[in-house]
Amino acid sequence: MVGVLISNLSRMKVAVLRHSLHGARLEQLTWGLVFGAAGIAAMLWLSLSDFAVPGLTGDLLAAAFALWGLGWALGPILFTGEDTTLRPEHFRSLPVTARQLAVGLLGASFVGVAGLAAVPSGYITSLRSRPR
């Protein structure tokens, strides 16, 4: 059931994003992309830098990635307002448990600017965060 939830909720998210490709929503989306790209570039730069303290680069990257993750998880909760993508209350009448729905929505949350940006930034972090 969780598989059905994740795949369909992700497809819904794609449809929502497709409908957002105009007007004020497009502007918002573009800023999201610019911000995401800037964040990745900053992390890339950080990963290539070396500091006097050994291991500091990895720690900084990990901290930046944690901050990113925190913003991604808490952002939609703190700044509800305009964002009307997919919310649990849209699916409360479905014959699924709250836990299944939560997992489904978590899966679908990877579809989007923040979710996509998490992949390269996570990879960059992993490059320099290995224990030495």
Partner 1 sequence: MEWRGLHKAFGRKVAVDHIDLTVPTGSFFGLVGPNGAGKTTSLAMATGLLRPDGGSVHIFGVDVWREPARAKALIGVLPDGMSLPERLTGREVLSYLGALHRLDRALVAERVQELLDVLELTEADGTLVVDYSTGMRKKIGLASALLHAPRLLVLDEPFEAVDPVSATTIKSILTRFVAGGGSVIFSSHVMATVEQLCDRIAVISKGQVRAAGPMAEVRAGDDLEQRFVELVDGQDRGAEGLTWLAS
Nearest residue (CB) to partner 1, 20 versus 126: 20
| Residues 7-26: x where in contact with partner 1 by CB under 8 A, - otherwise, as a string | -xx-xx--xx--xx----x-
Binders of partner 1 in range 70-99 (CB under 8 A): 84-87, 89-97
* Residue type, position 120, single letter: P
48's tokens:
């290539």
Instruction: Give the span between the Cα atoms of 9 and 101, in whole angstroms.
Output: 10
As measured in angstroms, the least distance from the Cβ of 44 to partner 1 is: 32
Residue 119 interacts with partner 1 (CB under 8 A): yes or no: no
x-or-dash string of contact with partner 1, 25-64, rule CB under 8 A: x---------------------------------------
CA 98 to chain centre: 22
Structure tokens at 11: 């497809």
For partner 1, which is the closer residue by CB, 49 or 84?
84
Closest separation in Å from C-beta 106 to partner 1: 16
- Cα separation, 104 vs 109, in Å, equals 9
H-helix segments, 20-130? 23-48, 56-78, 98-108, 113-128
Residue among 120, 111, 125, 127 at smallest CA distance from 36: 120
Residues that bind partner 1 (CB under 8 A): 1, 4-5, 8-9, 11-12, 15-16, 19-20, 25, 84-87, 89-97, 100
